[in-house]
Amino acid sequence: MNVAENAELAGLPGADLIAAGVADAAAGRETIAGELVKIGSPRLRGCGIDVAVTPEQALDADRRLFRLLGAAHGRNAHSHYNALIRQLVSFEQALEGRVRRARMAAT
């Protein structure tokens, strides 16, 4: 599923952030959005979103994200990290709901 062009994702919380992260991960850029998407890659893949990440990269994504946030926000890195994780989880839950409803409608 191409996140940037998928109209089904419109209106989901954090869709723009996730789309940017998928693009960054695919391009090999180490960004806040890209590392966030790598953290969520197992659930995102389960919903049909392709995330360019190896299992090793996914395991270390949380540390890379926190390092990037530390460089950008200093002492406030932890609160930014928690907010981003909440946004990721909210997106994943909303997407899983849409996917579940679409599968039920197709049967």
Q: What is the pLDDT of residue 107?
A: 79
C-beta separation of 35 from 61 below 8 A: yes
Res. 9 pLDDT band, cuts 50 70 90: confident
Kindly report the backbone phi and psi dihedral angles of residue 51, in degrees, each rounded to the nearest multiple of 5, phi listed first. Answer: -120, 120
- Give yes or no for residue 3 having a pLDDT over 60: no
pTM: 0.90
How far apart CA 53 and CA 57 sit, in angstroms, is 6
The C-alpha torsion from 95 through 41 and 16 to 14, rounded to 10°, is 60
Predicted confidence band of residue 7 (pLDDT cuts 50, 70, 90): low
Name the token pair of 7.
């109209």
Residue 97 CB coordination number (10 Å): 12
Residue whose C-alpha is closest to residue 19's, from 9, 30, 31: 9
List, for residues 60-74, the tens digit of each pLDDT value: 999 999 999 999 999
For the beta carbon of residue 15, count every other beta carbon within 10 angstroms: 18
